[in-house]
Structure 1
Amino acid sequence: MRYFVLLSALLSVGFVQASQVCFPEISASTQSDDFIALPGGQVHQQSKGLIWQRCLYGQSWNHAEQRCDGAAIRLTWQEALQQSTTLSVPAAVWRVPDVKEAMSIVERQCVDPAIRLSVFPNTNSENIWTSTTVQAMPVEAWAIAMYSGKNNRKGKEQQLYVRFVRLSDE
């Protein structure tokens, strides 16, 4: 019965761009205290040893308002891989996260988007790229549907959003 109620709630918000819905009866899959805010719109995910950009590519971090400003930019898979190298400097090598890394920031307690908005504000509910190619279909890569937090396959020529990551210095 509980799953029927959850499914009904999900379907009722699925066709309207609504604000995030979280279900307290579902255990959280991420913890706020696992993420430490860093200067420049970055956040350290302590449990994974990763530094994430808080904003999607194309947006800029507004420190005063603690949010992402501007419009995110969609890229093909190859463009996302190439763009990460333009952001990198010797001390910080940014890249597209692999599917396991991207799934580690999904908050299963919430939908629309399935992410902790206190850590990653202004995240939309669209798909984001991972660097992981689908083994059985090399023209596809894994993406994360931020509406639901589910991984799915997308043709590499499609244009999706991307959130870059790098290894922690620690």
Structure 2
Amino acid sequence: MTITQALARIAGMGRIFLALFAMTANHTTLAQSCFNTLVTPSTPTSDFQIGSNGTATHLPTGLQWMRCSLGQTWTGTVCAGSAANQPSWASALLLVQAINQGQSDLDGDGSVGFAGHADWRLPNIKELSALNEACRRQPAVNDQVFPNAPTGIHWSSTTPHAQPSVVWYFDFGMGVVSFTNKNDALPRLIKLVRAGEAAGDYQAGQYLVFADGFEF
């Protein structure tokens, strides 16, 4: 083997090493979203169609989510700022109504609604808790689909049938579902969704896509 041939072989091996390193680095980057690598991701990024307009569509259900919680601003790559607290369920519903009627300019361009749609709503508890990512906590959601997601409690639209004074919520920090008084005046956040629900009062929620299995 000549020196030229030896150098060529070494160069080839170097290219192979770099390719393998790149593959490993890419795998590591993706894996960083899961804190427990022994748990299979329950909401893999491949289940979502990521839009450039700050939305993500969950392909198994057809539900379209805002990637940011209300109060944050979509920059094109991440959710900037802090999510806004809504101290009562009624105030959360009124804010959703204001967004759909163009009284709250989320896009920053004077348009009605968000991302070309004016039928956003509070998710029911099954829709909201389905965002729970089993392989991580703080936040307990896919941080590639929902970048810089806040870890606070998020309102759902679901009221238990036997207790109309309370409402179900999902804790984005620990991935816990529980309920609270509708007027507890404690910090609560909002993640909005659209589509996948039967026609009717958007403030009611709690039917169709994830409707069975809970007592309403």
**TM value normalised by structure 2:** 0.64
Q: Supply the distance in 1 between the matched residues of 2:46 and 2:66 (Cα, whole angstroms).
A: 17
Q: What displacement does 1:21 show?
A: 6.4
Which of the pair is proportionally richer in helix?
Answer: 2
Q: Residue 150 of structure 2 aligns to a residue in which SS?
A: coil
Count, aligned residues = 147
Amino acid at match of 2:62: G
1:162 is the counterpart of 2:190? yes
Q: What displacement does 1:133 show?
A: 0.7
**TM value normalised by structure 1:** 0.80
Divergent runs of 4+, >3 A? 89-92
1:59 is the counterpart of 2:72? yes
Q: Supply the distance in 1 between the matched residues of 2:179 and 2:56 (Cα, whole angstroms).
A: 27
Q: Which runs of 5+ in 1 are unaligned?
A: 1-19
Amino acid at match of 2:89: W
**Aligned ranges 1:1-170 → 2 under 5 Å:** 22-63=35-76, 66-75=77-86, 76-88=88-100, 89=112, 91-158=117-184, 159-167=187-195
Q: What displacement does 1:40 show?
A: 2.1
Q: What displacement does 1:78 show?
A: 1.1
The superposition leaves residues 51-104 of structure 1 with CA deviations (integer Å, 9 ceiling, x where unpaired) of: 1000111111011xx111122111121111121122225843000000010011
Q: Which runs of 5+ in 2 are unaligned?
A: 1-32, 101-111, 197-216
Q: Contact 1:81 / 1:96 at 8 angstroms: preserved in 2?
A: yes
Say which structure, 1 or 2, has more relative contact order (CA 8 Å, 6+ apart).
Answer: 1
Report which of the two structures shows the higher radius of gyration computed on alpha carbons. 2
Q: Supply the distance in 1 between the matched residues of 2:118 and 2:35 (Cα, whole angstroms).
A: 34
Which of the pair is proportionally richer in strand?
Answer: 1
Percent of aligned positions that are identical:
30
Report the RMSD for the aligned CA atoms in angstroms: 1.7
**Equivalent residue number for residue 8 of structure 2:** none
Judged with a 3 Å threshold, the aligned counterparts in structure 2 of structure 1 residues 154 and 21 are, in CA distance, closer, same or farther, namely farther
